[in-house]
């Protein structure tokens, strides 16, 4: 058995921090909950790959896991979990049946933790998939079906590649669902170019890059000037969410709808990527055109939504809920690294020891792009030109 350093989240550290911070989530310090630990790796089975983790991205589900604001997932996992469902790694060893990978290959993970009969995840790896050990660790043993060759010649650096394993397939799935549903209602020959709006963070940014690459007009509604500026360089117009008080009142939503009308020559939005729900949901519905589609794979601000069914029926608006891609869809999304997906990275690449701080800064919403943690000190020669 090999034991490696790995971060964990336990019911004990959650309870201690809840006790310290009280009921106010604003005082909650995520870095007190996610702690450096050790994990025993399973033996390398015939279909397994052992890999050295090079870099990981911080994902928002850790905020849910540490604050236990949706469900107490550490508790559901038996008291402790090893998180991390987005990684870039180097293959160290392969099992007897593995032909797709060899030692030295650089790979990215996907986090589909157990596909249903159509390939969609019933569980997410290192979150609710039973016995899954995450990739915020120095090394890992995974099934070969969970890995995809990293496209090292795609034009992105290693940190940008490391930003994409979870977010790019999510965005890819959201986009193909949203545009597919829209096209059932309004076929291409009736309307080629559509107006696309995305709210918030990294997934929406990638969603808008897909829309823009296919020739549509795209707007990014975010509170971060740095993130808006990065997207404007790609021709995606920014809308300052804070100018509408993050939709705290009906008047803010009305003002936002007016702004969307002005920016789209009165047409409003045909496709909206929400990702946050809560107050964003109402704003995302208010600014929709007839036949529009509203999609989300996130529920950061609320798990519940409320809408006027009559109004949405009359407008023929579809509200769609997605989760994550099939393994095949994840591979397809990886083909678009660098060509379509050019992620915005937070200005600091965090050191391994600073991973808990990366999550606290994500909790405080102070990051200027997708947060990346460098896990390996020594990088393989194949990526040294990408640092
Ligand atoms: N189902 C899946 O497979 C899947 C995959 C990835 C993500 N998700 C979920 O989707 C959500 C977004 O993920 P992400 O990776 O795109 O996000 P991210 O890169 O972590 O960024 C989150 C963004 O949310 C915005 N935000 C934070 N607090 C807000 C508030 N109070 N009001 C409005 N906006 C706020 C911030 O944007 P500004 O401050 O710039 O406005 C921030 O950039 C998360 O809940 C995540 O768990 C689900």
Tell whether 126 and 214 lie within a shared domain: no
Quick one: pLDDT at residue 331?
98
Cα dihedral 382, 95, 130, 34 sign: negative
Cα–Cα dist 19/386, whole Å: 44
Cα–Cα distance, 385 to 387 (Å, whole number): 6
Residue 176 shares a structural domain with residue 148 = no
Residue 305 shares a structural domain with residue 207: yes
User: Does the predicted TM-score (pTM) go above 0.85?
Assistant: yes
Which residue puts its alpha carbon closest to atom 9 of ligand 1? Answer: 298
Q: What is the pLDDT of residue 200?
A: 81
Substitution site in 57, 64, 169, 203 for ligand 1 pocket (most atoms within 8 Å of beta carbon): 203
Residues 117 and 176 reside in one and the same domain: no
115-166 confidence digits (pLDDT tens) = 999 999 999 999 999 999 999 999 999 999 999 999 999 999 999 999 999 9
What would you measure as the largest C-alpha separation in the chain, in angstroms? 64
Q: Cβ(112) to ligand 1 under 6 A?
A: no
* Residue 164 CA to ligand 1 centre (angstroms): 14
Query: Are the CB atoms for 334 and 151 separated by under 8 Å?
Result: yes
Any atom of ligand 1 within 6 Å of the Cβ of 60: yes
Read out DSSP for 204-231? Answer: HHHHHHHHHHTT-EEEEEES-HHHHHHH
Question: Using CA atoms in the order 217, 223, 225, 229, what is the torsion angle rounded to 10 degrees?
Answer: -20
- Determine, yes or no, domain membership for 175: yes
> For residue 338, is it within any domain?
no
Query: How does DSSP classify residue 246?
Result: G
* 200 alpha carbon – ligand 1 mean position (Å): 6
Residue 278 domain-assigned? yes
Q: Map residue 169 onto helix, strand or coil.
A: helix
How far does residue 196's CA lie from ligand 1's centre (Å)? 18
Domain span at 142: 2-163+343-384
Pocket test for ligand 1, best of 220, 232, 273, 298 (most atoms within 8 A of CB): 298
In this prediction, residue 26 carries a pLDDT of 85
Residue 68 lies in a domain: yes
Tell me which of 128, 276, 370 to substitute to probe ligand 1's pocket, judged by most ligand atoms within 8 Å of the beta carbon: 276
How high is the pLDDT of residue 280? 98
- Could you count the other beta carbons within 10 Å of the beta carbon of residue 375? 25
Phi-psi sector, 278: left (phi>0), alpha (psi -120 to 50), beta: left
* Same domain flag for 121 and 191: no
CATH number of the domain bearing residue 368 = 3.90.180.10
- Cα 155 from Cα 152, distance rounded (Å): 7
In a domain, 326, yes or no: no
Query: What is the full per-residue pLDDT of the chain (387 aa) written as tens digits?
Result: 799 999 999 999 999 999 999 977 889 999 999 999 999 999 999 999 999 999 999 999 999 999 998 899 999 999 999 999 999 999 999 999 999 999 999 999 999 999 999 999 999 999 999 999 999 999 999 999 999 999 999 999 999 999 999 999 999 999 999 999 999 999 999 999 999 999 989 999 999 999 999 999 999 999 999 999 999 999 999 999 999 999 999 999 999 999 999 999 999 999 999 999 999 999 999 999 999 999 999 999 999 999 999 999 999 999 999 999 999 999 999 999 999 999 999 999 999 999 999 999 999 999 999 999 999 999 999 999 999
Looking up residue 264, the CATH number of its domain turns out to be 3.40.50.720
Last residue of a domain, one of 321, 356, 371: 321
Reported as a single tens digit per residue, the pLDDT across 235-246 is: 999 999 999 999
Residues 73, 214 within the same domain: no
- Are both 204 and 294 inside the same structural domain? yes
pLDDT value of residue 1:
79
Query: Cβ(112)–Cβ(126) under 8 Å?
Result: no
224 lines ligand 1 (CB under 6 A): yes
What's the gap in Å between 275 CA and the centre of ligand 1?
6
CB contact at 8 A, 285 and 170: no
Pocket test for ligand 1, best of 86, 162, 200 (most atoms within 8 A of CB): 200
Among residues 321, 351, 374, the one where a domain terminates is 321
> Do residue 116 and residue 140 come from a single domain?
yes
Judge if 313 and 347 occupy the same domain: no
328 lies in some domain? no
Same structural domain for residues 235 and 272? yes
Number of domains composing the chain: 2
Residues 213 and 263 grouped into a single domain: yes
- What pLDDT is stored for residue 25 in this prediction? 81
Can you list the alpha helix ranges (DSSP code H) found in 196-347?
A: 202-213, 225-232, 250-263, 279-286, 309-315, 327-334
Give residues with Cβ within 8 angstroms of 110, minimum separation 6. 125, 146, 148, 165, 166, 169, 325, 327, 330
* Residue 62 shares a structural domain with residue 134: yes
Measured CA to CA, the distance from residue 69 to residue 63 in angstroms comes to 8
> Is residue 242 in a domain?
yes
276 Cβ inside 6 Å of ligand 1: yes
pLDDT of residue 347: 96
Residue 330 lies in a domain: no
């Amino acid at each position: 058995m090999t034991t490696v350093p790995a971060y964990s989240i336990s019911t004990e550290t959650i309870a201690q921090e809840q006790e310290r911070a009280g009921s106010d989530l604003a005082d909650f310090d995520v870095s007190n909950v996610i702690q450096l630990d050790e994990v025993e790796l399973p033996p390398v089975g015939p279909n397994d790959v052992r890999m050295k983790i090079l870099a990981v991205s911080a994902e928002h589900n850790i905020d849910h896991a540490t604050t236990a604001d949706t469900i107490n997932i550490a508790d559901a996992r038996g008291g402790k979990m090893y998180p991390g469902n987005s990684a870039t790694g180097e293959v160290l060893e392969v099992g007897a049946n593995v032909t797709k990978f060899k030692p030295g290959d650089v790979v990215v993970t996907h986090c589909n933790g157990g596909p249903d009969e159509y390939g969609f995840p019933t569980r997410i790896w290192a979150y609710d998939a039973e016995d899954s050990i995450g990739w915020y660790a120095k090394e890992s043993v995974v099934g070969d079906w969970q890995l995809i060759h990293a496209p090292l010649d795609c034009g992105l650096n290693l940190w940008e590649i490391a930003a994409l394993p979870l977010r790019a397939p999510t965005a890819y799935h959201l986009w193909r669902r949203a545009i597919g549903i829209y096209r059932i209602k309004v076929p291409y020959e009736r309307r080629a170019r559509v107006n696309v709006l995305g709210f918030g963070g990294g997934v929406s940014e990638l969603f808008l890059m897909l829309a823009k690459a296919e020739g549509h007009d795209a707007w990014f509604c975010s509170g971060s000037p740095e993130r808006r500026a990065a997207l404007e360089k790609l021709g995606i117009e920014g809308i300052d969410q804070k100018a509408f008080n993050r939709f705290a009142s009906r008047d803010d939503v009305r003002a936002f709808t007016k702004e969307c009308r002005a920016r789209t020559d009165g047409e409003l939005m045909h496709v909206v990527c929400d990702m946050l729900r809560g107050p964003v949901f109402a704003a995302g519905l208010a600014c929709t055109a007839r036949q529009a589609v509203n999609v989300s794979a996130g529920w950061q601000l609320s798990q519940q939504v409320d809408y006027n069914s009559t109004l949405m029926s009359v407008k023929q608006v579809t509200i769609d809920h997605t989760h994550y891609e099939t393994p095949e869809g994840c591979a397809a999304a990886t083909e678009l690294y660098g060509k379509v997906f050019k992620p915005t990275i937070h200005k600091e690449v965090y050191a391994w020891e600073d991973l808990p701080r990366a999550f606290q800064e994500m909790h405080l919403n102070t990051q200027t792009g997708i947060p990346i943690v460098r896990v390996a000190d020594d990088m393989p020669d194949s990526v040294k030109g990408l640092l």
